[in-house]
Amino acid sequence: MRYEAVYDMLKEEYERLRSYKFELEKEIKDVDGFVRKKKVNGKEYYYLCKSKRVGDKVVQVHLRPLSKEEAREIMKVKQLKRQLREVNIRLKYMERLLRYA
């Protein structure tokens, strides 16, 4: 009896994670680059940057300045991508558990 209860709990958690994954995928927009914050004379400036390879070094190239709202939006998307990566890893392990259970 305990075995079925544990299996059902795993199955419910798996379904919950899958629905959460689909919600995250809907929210994520494609963002090219990352946000760099600079502070000059007490003012904060945000830039969209990209890493570029120059010879054997990797340098960060400023593409364009961003408003504070744009920077927050991009940072939020990056956070959502991290969450999605974690959810995918958990889903993969849960699939294995369910397969061999």
Q: What is the pLDDT of residues 72-95, one digit of tens each?
A: 998 998 899 999 999 999 999 988
**This prediction's pTM:** 0.70
Instruction: Please tell me the distance from the alpha carbon of residue 52 to that of residue 50, in angstroms, as a whole number.
Output: 6
Residue 75 one-letter amino acid: M
CA distances from 21 to 17, 30, 37, 44, 56 (A): 6, 16, 30, 34, 38
Domain limits for position 84: 2-100
Q: What integer pLDDT is reported at residue 1 of this predicted model?
A: 55
pLDDT on residue 6: 82
Residue 28 · residue 78 · CB < 8 Å: no
Number of domains in the chain: 1
For the chain, 101 residues long, the average pLDDT of each consecutive 10-residue run is 80 91 84 85 90 86 88 90 92 86 67
Q: What is the pLDDT of residue 101?
A: 67
